[in-house]
Amino acid sequence: MYLYENILKRLLTELRDAPILGGKDVQQKAKRFDEAALRRIVRSVLREDFEGFKRKVGDVDYTMGQGWRGQGKEMAKHVKRSFAEEADHEFMKSLVKVHWTTSPAAAAALLRNASSKDEISTTAYLPGEPVAAERGYRAGLLHAIGIEVQGRVTLAASDMSVLYTGSWESTKPSMRKSSGVVRRPAFFTPSDWHIDHFILDRRSFFTAHAHGSGEVNEFVVDNWRPVSIRIGTPNSFLNADPSSQTVVAKLAEELGIPVLDENGRDLTDKLVSLDDA
């Protein structure tokens, strides 16, 4: 259920149930819908979405690897359906989602060979938050290249080890069918610890950067399209081998997208292009 729809329904319910008499009673009724009341409703709705997800997956239990066959596969599908029904997709849409790769060549291989129907794993950042490579899956790599995408989030957790969906790079070409590569949780346990790692909305969103736990979130994205190339360590990259910059510059030109640093500043004109190489 979408957040805004639920808030509107709650407001309409409270308006319907509140008696309308007149005079001071009207004024008293209006006071009920001040900023504090709206915050209360929003908090309640957010919690309802998460509790709804917990109720739907409370009986799901399968071990590592079972999510791809038999009953485990059906349970994994149920987890994804429950997520789709309960997640706040407007919030998911607002996040900056980046798929980190090991090198310019790896980024080029994905963008030229992957289908938008292939679900890919990303690290998500709040709007305005630095898109730092050290928080991404390719943490610590000197030339980490990120592909920022927009698309439909089909799963999300505050720790990638909770989902363990694998990577596009590790899939065999035979798995990349016309319907696309599907990602499911490799295992699932109905414990509060496991379920509480799932991200359904702003309240349940978790960032390793903010909490310092070392965990890295994972957002699985479907029907995606690239909107920018992200340079994880701009200073190192701009002083590195010009051939790497050339690959990124050519890729950005082919796709018609900008090259950005961790703060969203455009680096496109600073890269060594084919003409300069």
Tell me what pLDDT residue 27 has: 52
3-state helix, strand, coil in the chain (%, to 5): 45, 15, 40
Task: Give the rounded distance of the alpha carbon of 151 from its chain centre.
Answer: 9
Is a pLDDT exceeding 90 seen at residue 196?
no
Phi/psi of residue 118, nearest 5 degrees: -80, 120
Helix (H) or strand (E) holding 137: none
Q: How far is CA 49 from CA 42, 53, 163, 171, in A?
A: 11, 6, 20, 33
Tell me what pLDDT residue 101 has: 87
Question: What range does the domain containing 171 cover?
Answer: 59-270
Task: Say if CB 64 and CB 187 are below 8 A apart.
Answer: yes
Task: Give the rounded distance of the alpha carbon of 186 from its chain centre.
Answer: 18
- Residue 234: closest CA among 131, 137, 108, 121: 131
Tell me what pLDDT residue 187 has: 85
Greatest mean pLDDT among 50-54, 71-75, 219-223? 219-223
Whether 21 and 73 share a structural domain? no
Whether 175 and 191 share a structural domain? yes
Helix (H) or strand (E) holding 24: helix 24-31
Whether 37 and 153 share a structural domain? no
Whether 172 and 190 share a structural domain? yes
Is a pLDDT exceeding 50 seen at residue 1?
no
Q: For residues 140 and 248, what is the distance between their CA atoms, to the nearest angstrom?
A: 19
Please count the structural domains in the chain: 2
Whether 103 and 206 share a structural domain? yes
Tokens of 133: 């490579």
Facing residues of 122 across strands?
219
Which of these three, 36, 53, 70, is where a domain ends?
A: 53
Whether 87 and 200 share a structural domain? yes
Tokens of 201: 């909305």
19, HSE (Cβ side, Cα atoms, 13 Å): 5
Assess if residue 187 is contained within a domain.
yes
Give the model confidence (pLDDT) of 83-114 as tens digits. 999 999 999 999 999 998 888 888 998 898 88
Mean pLDDT value of segment 247-272: 91
Assess if residue 64 is contained within a domain.
yes
